[in-house]
Amino acid sequence: MVCDHTAPHSGVSRYERTTAELRLTLVCDNCGAEQGEFARIEYRPNARRFSAQLAELTARQLGLDESQVARVRFAMLICDVGREKIPPRSSTSAAAE
Ligand SMILES: [Zn+2]
């Protein structure tokens, strides 16, 4: 059965990995079909904090001493400093190569 999209609609945000954007859209509650787009917002998830914690845990599991653990954590925190200054299309196309 084809939906006529007369059911209520809800606002949904969808992350577009290829363009590094959050798309704010309107979808039909009956079938889930996208019926419109309100806005696009540049957005890239920032997992740096969690990555640093994982790097620290990994360093501890490897038996590194405290100064080495601190260096690993610091390196993970700063590994992509400046990334926000790179236009989204440049970084996504570079990652695809
Ligand atoms: Zn529908």
Residue-wise pLDDT tens digits, 32-78: 999 999 899 887 776 666 788 888 999 999 999 999 998 888 888 77
Question: 91 alpha carbon to ligand 1 midpoint, in Å?
Answer: 36
91 vs 36, more confident: 36
Q: What is the pTM of this model?
A: 0.47
Question: 34 alpha carbon to ligand 1 midpoint, in Å?
Answer: 8
Question: 12 alpha carbon to ligand 1 midpoint, in Å?
Answer: 14
By three-state DSSP, how is residue 55 classified? helix
41 by Cβ neighbours in 10 Å (0-12 / 13-18 / 19+) ranks as exposed
Question: What pLDDT is recorded for position 58?
Answer: 94
- How far, in Å, are 44, 49, 68, 74 from residue 57 at the CA level? 25, 13, 12, 13
